[in-house]
Each structure stands twice: as structure tokens, then as C-alpha cells.
């Protein structure tokens, strides 16, 4: 009887450990709709992480609606062209803008996604130089901090 009890306790402990391990693995999975769509259209995690990081090259107050926001969306357009189905990837990037209720930034973000899709570069560094030039020459759309605060009432 003691052996059966030890085995039952041991089995229960192993099952609990297995469930804990499964739970930890599940938490590592990113099953957000955005990630699933990105994977479906062939956007790599490396490209997405690079595009998302572009706003960090600008002052914090310009990461939302400002030059940083423009850089991020230009980069997103650029990486869409690196997939096997660039038209679909760009459409998915633009459709993502409709998942938010942000009606203020949507037209500007879609414009920059589309403009970014015209970037021809062989490396991230080369793409960043083109992105910076597009922003500097006012080809990209973005708002000043003052304008952003004004239109968003914050």
C-alpha cells in the first residue's frame, strides 16, 4: 500500500510539473492576431522588431504622431516589401490601423506605410538613411508635439 501511495503522489507531482512546464511554454507563444497575421503574410520577427524599434531613434515625445511614429510606419512599409507576398503584407499592415480606434493617426500611418513600401534598400542601415531623408524632406507625414497635443486634447 505504501508503494502505491508513493507512486500516486509521484504521478501527481509529475503531472503538476508537466502542467507547469506546458503553461510556461504556452506563455512564450505570441498568439495575438497581429502576430498571427504577420506570420501568415511572411513578416519575420526580426523585421518586425526592427520596424518597431525605429521610433526609439527619436526623442520620446516624438514617438507618438511625430517623427518617430513616421519612421516606424515607413519601416513597416519597407519590411512589407521583403516578404514573398508584398502586396498582401502591405494590405495587412494598413488593415492593422483599423484595429485601433485611433481615427486621428490612421490616415497619416497608412500614408507612411505606403510611402515606406517604395523604399529600395539592401540593409536596415540603408533603409534608415532613406527613412531619415523622407522625414527630413517632409515626404513622410507626422505631427509636431504641439499639433499632436492639440488634435488629441491631452
In eight-state DSSP terms, residue 136 is: H
How do residues 50-89 score in pLDDT, each as one tens digit? Answer: 999 999 999 999 988 999 999 999 999 999 999 999 999 9
- pLDDT of amino acid 28: 65
**Cα angle value 55/128/76 (rounded, 5°):** 60
Please count the other Cβ atoms lying within 10 Å of the Cβ belonging to residue 40.
12
Task: Name the band, by pLDDT with cuts 50, 70 and 90, for residue 138.
Answer: very high
pLDDT of residue 6: 57
- The pLDDT of residue 112 is 98
pTM attached to this predicted model: 0.78
Residue 55 in grid coordinates: 521610433
Q: How far apart are CA 21 and CA 17, in angstroms?
A: 6
pLDDT in tens, 23-47: 776 666 666 767 778 888 889 989 9
Dump pLDDT digits (tens) for 92-116. Answer: 999 888 887 778 889 999 999 999 9
Q: How far apart (Å, rounded) are the C-alpha atoms in residues 31 and 37?
A: 10
Amino acid at each position: 500500500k505504501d508503494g502505491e501511495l508513493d507512486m500516486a503522489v509521484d504521478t501527481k507531482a509529475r503531472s503538476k510539473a508537466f502542467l507547469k512546464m506546458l503553461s510556461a511554454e504556452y506563455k512564450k507563444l505570441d498568439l495575438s492576431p497581429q502576430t498571427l497575421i504577420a506570420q501568415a503574410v511572411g513578416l519575420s520577427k526580426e523585421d518586425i522588431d526592427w520596424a518597431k524599434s525605429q521610433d526609439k531613434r527619436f526623442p520620446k515625445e516624438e514617438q507618438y504622431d511625430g517623427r518617430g511614429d513616421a519612421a516606424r510606419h515607413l519601416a513597416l512599409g519597407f519590411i512589407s516589401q521583403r516578404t514573398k507576398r508584398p502586396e498582401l503584407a502591405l494590405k495587412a499592415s494598413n488593415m492593422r490601423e483599423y484595429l485601433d480606434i485611433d481615427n486621428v493617426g490612421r490616415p497619416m500611418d497608412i500614408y507612411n506605410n505606403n510611402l515606406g513600401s517604395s523604399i529600395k534598400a539592401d540593409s536596415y542601415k540603408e533603409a534608415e538613411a532613406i527613412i531619415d531623408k523622407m522625414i527630413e524632406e517632409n515626404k513622410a507625414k507626422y505631427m509636431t508635439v504641439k499639433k499632436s497635443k492639440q488634435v488629441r486634447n491631452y
